[in-house]
Amino acid sequence: MPNKINIVQAVQQALQNEMALDPTVVVYGEDVGVEGGVFRATVGLQQEFGEDRSFDTPLAESAIVGSAVGMAINGFKPVVEMQFMGFIYPAFNQIISHVARYRNRTRGQRHLPMVIRAPYGGGIRALEHHSESTEAMFAHIPGLKVVIPSTPYDAKGLLIAAIRDPDPVLFLEPKRIYRAFRQEVPEEAYTLPIGKAKIVKEGDELTVVTWGAMVPDVQKAVSNIDDISVEVIDLRTISPMDRETIVASVEKTGRILIVHEAAKSFGAGAEIMAIVNEKAFLSLEAPPTRLTGFDTIFPLPRGEEHYIPTPARIEAKIRELAAY
């Protein structure tokens, strides 16, 4: 039977595979156990692996992440869920003060093989706090890896890699495309390397770097362009960033556009531009350019269509940059 699944099913399957293979993997969070998660990413796990390994918690993100630190110190591999990225902040103290620091401050004696999963991003006509993308705030924290897949295949392989990683990983799931499309994915466990971008489409005149839910939008924009040879890179890991793939591409194309839905200023796009300036400056034929969300709070649904760059805006920006 072919295993054609969407992103949220790929997340569920990754968890299921790893729980079956490794008895130290435990999955918990708000509404994760009985209900199987508000997005159904943990559905069936409690039935299959019991209440000790997949369970509901009281409503307290700081305790969810803080207890995961303790679980990881004491022999488990917790994979905890933040119901929405907008509700990760009660746990921010744990993440920045402990999760990301343990290995360094104990000179490697204690390290934290744990994963924090959170659906992120907008465009789903949601209420306040349910739409922001703040990956850059976390990528800025030394000691934390930040991964964002954009396909079912990548979601599964990267989540399994994150669970097996000896260090903490923040795994951000693009909820806008959770169920957007299906893909044939191996049923058994496999991993993809964290820290490696993927060239989604090769080209030699202009590079577009993007990630998460923006990847299909960029692909759509590029499919409308046959007079410019565009290379599309899906970053897949925000931190540590795959500098080689970006630099090699810009050395070839001389032009780079970064597309992200997070706010513009101090975003991950700025880091990519810095890398390009440092490593590929002499290859540049145009200023590195960003097309991003505004430096505003994500508008509520009656205005949200303005926020996330649309395929039409992406196409226009690509044409503008190509003509520079």
Ligand X SMILES: Cc1ncc(C[n+]2csc(CCOP(=O)(O)OP(=O)(O)O)c2C)c(N)n1
Phi and psi at residue 54, in whole multiples of 5°?
A: -145, 110
* Integer Cα distance of 260 and 276 in angstroms: 17
Sign of the C-alpha dihedral computed for residues 187, 191, 194 and 197 taken in this order: negative
59 is a site residue for ligand X (CB under 6 A): yes
Give residue 8's identity as a one-letter amino acid code: V
- By beta-carbon proximity to ligand X, the closer residue of 86 and 309 is 86
Q: Could you say which residues in the range 238-277 bind ligand X, by CB under 6 A?
A: none
State yes or no: residue 83 binds ligand X (CB under 6 A): yes
Which residues fall within 8 angstroms of residue 30, CB to CB, at 6 or more apart? 56, 57, 59, 64, 81, 83
Question: 223 or 296: whose CB is closer to other proteins?
Answer: 296
Residue tagged 């409503």 (tokens) = 59
Say if CB 210 and CB 235 are below 8 A apart. Answer: yes
Q: Which does 243 bind (CB under 5 to 8 A by kind): other proteins, ligand X, none?
A: none
Q: Which of 265, 277, 281, 287 is close enough to bind other proteins by CB under 8 A?
A: 265
Q: Which CB sits closer to other proteins, 36 or 216?
A: 36
Shortest distance in whole angstroms from residue 235 CB to other proteins: 23
- Closer residue to ligand X (CB): 30 or 231: 30
Binder of residue 244, out of ligand X, other proteins, none (CB less than 5 to 8 A by kind): none
Q: Of other proteins, ligand X, none, which one sits near residue 106, judging by CB under 5 to 8 A according to partner kind?
A: none
Report the residue number, 62 or 183, with the smaller CB distance to other proteins.
62
Residue 1's contacts (CB-CB under 8 Å, 6 or more residues apart) are none
User: Which of 156, 200, 196, 149 lies closest to 175, judged by CA?
Assistant: 149
283 is a contact residue toward other proteins (CB under 8 A): no
Under the binding rule (CB under 6 A), the answer on residue 299 touching ligand X is: no
**Out of other proteins, ligand X, none, which partner does residue 300 contact, by CB within 5 to 8 A per kind?**
other proteins
Residue 229 Cα to chain centre, angstroms: 27
* 62 near other proteins (CB under 8 A): yes
Pair of tokens at residue 11: 């997340």
Where in the sequence numbering do the catalytic residues fall? 130
Q: Report DSSP state, residue 23.
A: T
Q: Is 173 in the site for ligand X (CB under 6 A)?
A: no
Size of the site for other proteins (CB under 8 A): 40
CB 292 within 8 A of CB 264: yes
Strands 4-5 and 183-184: antiparallel
- Can you give the binding site for ligand X, defined by CB under 6 A? 30, 59, 61, 83, 87, 90
The residues binding other proteins (CB under 8 A) are 30-31, 34-36, 38, 56-60, 62-63, 86-87, 89-90, 125-130, 264-265, 294-297, 299-304, 306-307, 312-313, 316
